[in-house]
Amino acid sequence: MLELIQRLDIKVFQLINTGLSNPLFDAVLPWCREKWFWMPAYWFVAAFSLLNFGKKGWIIILGMVLSAGLADFTSSSIIKKNVQRLRPCNDLERVESITVRVPCGSGYSFTSSHAANHFAVAVFLIGFLGNLARWVKPVALSWAALIAFSQVYVGVHYPIDVTMGGLLGALIGWLVVRSLGTFKVRLFGAKI
């Protein structure tokens, strides 16, 4: 069963990495992995939180930081170090058939920390701000999915890596929302 899942993972990886190759994706998706690309969105959410909720906005910023920090620590320091799955771009058996669009990096692949971090923040924001505006859910999930998809497209993660990273992040984001839920009700009431 595990072998079947791994073969399917490699097939889907090849479909995304080489089968979907096009100039637009080649130009845009490598940048989706970079801090300077996605940090402005999180700075915007932080500024939005402070401007709209004053000092209470710090709980949203704290939740985002906790979500991303816990997801990153769990993915990078616990799971990757124990699973030790090679990145596709470091796998000598496959490297010839892969289009590597960014520097590969020496770390391990499972789970994707980018996916875990961004899905953790997305689910936290949905849980904390979702009642405020309906657009939060589709925008947050689309943003996290774009960053996760780009990891496969550029050749540094397999689809299972980003899927499991996304699920890990979503769970952590949900746990942070649940943990901070008391503060949410006390500080914001039923409004959000």
DSSP 107-132: S--SS-HHHHHHHHHHHHHHHHHTTT
Looking at residue 105, what is its pLDDT? 81
Please enumerate in sequence order all residues whose Cβ is within 8 A of that of 141, keeping only pairs 6 or more positions apart, or say none.
Answer: 122, 126
pLDDT means per 10 residues, the chain with 192 residues, are 89 95 95 90 93 89 97 97 93 84 88 97 92 86 96 96 98 94 64 52
Looking at residue 189, what is its pLDDT? 62
Which DSSP letter does residue 134 get? T
Whole-angstrom CA distances from 159 to 99, 116, 151 are 15, 13, 9
The domain spans of the chain are 40-187
**Cα separation, 60 vs 136, whole angstroms:** 14
Looking at residue 190, what is its pLDDT? 53
Peptide bond into 111 cis (omega under 30): yes
**Cα separation, 135 vs 125, whole angstroms:** 11
Contact 155, 113 (CB under 8 A): no
Helix (H) or strand (E) holding 55: none
Looking at residue 184, what is its pLDDT? 65
Which DSSP letter does residue 102 get? S
Looking at residue 149, what is its pLDDT? 97
What is the identity of the amino acid at 51? L
Looking at residue 131, what is its pLDDT? 78
Looking at residue 191, what is its pLDDT? 52
